[in-house]
Amino acid sequence: MDLRYLRAFVAVADHGGISAAAQQLGYAQSSVSAQLKRLEAELGAAVLLRVGTGAILTEAGRRLLPHAREALELDERMRRAVLGERPRLRIGAQESLAHAWLPDVLAAFEYGAGGPDTTAEVDLSVGSRTKLDALFTAGELDVAFQYDAGVRVLGPSAVVGHDRTVLAAGSSHPLARVGTVTAEQLLRYEFLVAEPGCTSEMLVDRFGRDLLVGAQVAMVTGSLAALLRLTGHGRGVTLLPEMAVARELESGELVELPLAEQVRPVSIVAKWHPRLGLADGPLRALLEVARRADPLPEPALRGSEASQVS
């Protein structure tokens, strides 16, 4: 099958219309339309439904899309291998991980911390858990770094790190003047999460539900930066991994609220697709670099868990 047909199909799926796809590909709209018709003729099925000025995928098109992406990615890997270019590694990460930890991991990886001949050309996508899961399922990511949500991961995965879970508030918040914060005190104040599926909501769901039954949980804007600023201005309290708030805690913009019932640490999980070809070696090296950069290494992790049991 001519890969131009698949490329046109994927572009339409990504951009929602033939005109937008043609503009992105640098083709005339009539050329893209012709390629799509040839694709449908070869497959013997309609993959797109033209609606107004756009196009949507048929059921057959939805089944085709992940395979089309895989074929295009394999084509690029083959070309890179023939030309002797570095393999490409498409990485996804939750915003709270990309806010602090992952940039240091990627910098160390780029400077050769993974060993000789293990570097790769890195593409990084940052987003919510929902967005990353969609990209990963569609085959648009090779590996995704996320905080453990307590859901079984299908396919290859590994824990590469751990992080403390911190209840934070602005320095002017009433709870910042309290010694140890109880669950009853938390119920009086608004609890901020960035968006459905974000790390803060996941931590509340998995680790803080017993503490926060009946609390006022409010969505903010889909932005970790906005959530931190609003929390810093005393709008409410938030439950986040320590790395996501480390800078704000150090500057004094936020303060950690000591809880009477401690929340246990959360794991950082990597999941990846198998059979990445030349990118497989760099992926393994990246995972090892990530493990060595564990924010809460084993001795500290044991100490943290012990303090919560006592």
Alpha carbons 284 and 114: distance in angstroms, whole number: 8
DSSP for 73-134, written as a single string: HHHHHHHHHHHTPPPEEEEEEEHHHHTTHHHHHHHHHHTTTT-TT---EEEEEEE-HHHHHH
Burial 201-216 (b: 16+ CB within 10 A, else e): bbbbebbbeebbeebe
Axis-axis angle for helices 280-292, 101-110 (nearest 10): 130
Q: Which residues of the chain have pLDDT under 70?
A: 83-85, 195-222, 298-310
Tokens read off for 67:
């395979």
Q: What is the pLDDT of residues 108-136, one digit of tens each?
A: 998 889 888 788 888 999 988 888 888 88
Q: Is 15 exposed, middle or buried (0-12, 13-18, 19+ CB in 10 A)?
A: middle
Q: How far is CA 65 from the centre of its chain?
A: 21
Helix (H, G, I), strand (E, B) or coil at 66: helix
What integer pLDDT is reported at residue 188 of this predicted model? Answer: 80
Residues in the chain: 310
Q: What is the pLDDT of residues 8-57, one digit of tens each?
A: 998 888 888 888 888 888 888 888 889 999 999 999 999 998 887 788 89
Alpha carbons 100 and 96: distance in angstroms, whole number: 7
Tokens read off for 97:
């991980």
